[in-house]
Amino acid sequence: MWPYYPDLLATPVPRYTSFPTAAEFGPGVGADDFARALEGADGDISVYVHIPFCEAICWYCGCNTGKANRGERLASYLEALHREIALVGERLPATARVRRVAFGGGSPNAIRPTDFVRLLLGLTQSLPLADPVISVELDPRTLDKPWVDALAGVGVSRASLGVQTFDPALQAAIGREQPAALIERCTDWLRGAGIASLNFDLMYGLPGQDEPALLDTLARTVALAPERVALFGYAHVPHLIPRQRRIDATGLPGTFARFRMAALGQAELVRAGYAGIGFDHFARPDDPLALAAREGRLHRNFQGFTDDAAPVLIGFGASAISSFPELLVQNEKNGGRYRMMLSQDRLPAMLGVRRGAEDRRRGAIVESLLCHGAADLGGAPDAETAARLEPLLERGLARIAGTRLVVTELGLPYSRVIAAAFDPYRQQSARRFSSAV
């Protein structure tokens, strides 16, 4: 059992899939900044395509998504998406090479498989694809054989299934009912389609969840043997995500119960042969993610922990975020306004933040702490950072050796808290983040 310090876990902290986080985005960055960044984006590039639709909306979900129940709205969104891909392609230099393409949402399989294939064709026609690794997030409830055939036909090699929990009562409590037999069938289909790296997304801290329920889900997961597992703590923030008001908050586990579940998940998955990746991901030892972690090549971006080393990530679709070394920029979040802007051949970039030298330095420290459990500070921390680190150092959760800060084995569940010590924006932001555990 990890040491439990409730005072250190009391303040919510970001997940740090970027630095600065999206909470710091503002209107001072827009389409002109995005266009200039695109024109200078040579070398390896990754692409993310956002499909903000689902057949059914789960109550816990924090994604920017809506119901895929209006064919006309879906068609107009896809038309805008194709136009955005073409506009971006016109601005990329000839030296750019797209090495990875990820589809997320929402649920990409909320659209027809033929539309998915057309999207890939559009990417191929407009962008400099260089035999990219293609990955996709999938909702098991709407995955059918035509979709699986499409995945195999275009060469998708990585997929992520939103499993969350195998417990029927917990599924009902969060609005995501999917029998175990369905997950098993989807897993078999995806294996047959050539998916070499399959991920299961699981959750702890759900309403009414206890340790036996989590253990059962972990055991069923291990039996199906996905190459990767992501074990997330449910973030209950109904003031930010209104659909979460449908969840009975009186049944939510407390901080200590959540902490024990996180520790239990870590112990069980490692015992089953998975390598711990950062603080909430796990991978089979021969999976590319585990190899990257062992070889010091692990990174963190908007997809979480990744073996993707590309310095540029271009996001397509409403609310999608693009990342450049000196710029973070987000598309218009509202689907209607997003479509309107593309109908006028305007890049839909609306918010963002410029990353100066100090942001890049602190961002590198945050990423290194989360990915490698250590970071070279380049010198003594400033007074404010040192003060925030002090209670963590005193309790043996981290230590400083020369200019190097190391997260100890006991400090693993406090990784985000330790990283947050280097985030000056967090001290000022009024936005509430997810629980620290």
Distance CA 226, CA 424 (A): 38
Determine whether 138 is exposed, middle or buried from the number of CB atoms within 10 Å of its CB (0-12, 13-18, 19+): buried
Determine whether 91 is exposed, middle or buried from the number of CB atoms within 10 Å of its CB (0-12, 13-18, 19+): middle
Nearest to 149 by CA among 200, 113, 108: 113
The yes-or-no verdict on residue 47 having pLDDT over 70 is yes
pLDDT of residue 430: 45
pLDDT digits (tens, 9 = 90+) for 140-162: 999 999 999 999 999 999 999 99
pLDDT digits (tens, 9 = 90+) for 61-92: 877 777 776 778 899 999 999 999 999 999 99
Residue 357: CB partners within 8 Å, gap ≥ 6?
none
DSSP state of 319: T
Q: Is the peptide bond before 106 cis (omega within 30 degrees of 0)?
A: yes
The yes-or-no verdict on residue 434 having pLDDT over 70 is no
Which tokens in the block code for residue 108?
A: 């990409």
Which tokens in the block code for residue 106?
A: 């929402």
pLDDT digits (tens, 9 = 90+) for 99-145: 999 999 989 999 999 999 999 999 999 999 999 999 999 999 999 99
Structural domains of the chain, with CATH: 6-321 (3.80.30.20), 356-437 (1.10.10.920)
Which tokens in the block code for residue 417?
A: 């808290």
**100 residue type, one letter:** R
Binned at pLDDT 50, 70 and 90, residue 398 comes out as very high
pLDDT of residue 433: 60
Considering the chain, what is the average pLDDT of its residues? 94
DSSP state of 95: T
Distance CA 274, CA 295 (A): 16
> Are the beta carbons of 142 and 109 closer than 8 angstroms?
yes
Distance CA 338, CA 332 (A): 6
The yes-or-no verdict on residue 218 having pLDDT over 70 is yes
The secondary structure of 381-397 as a DSSP string is PPHHHHHHHHHHHHTTS
Distance CA 82, CA 77 (A): 9
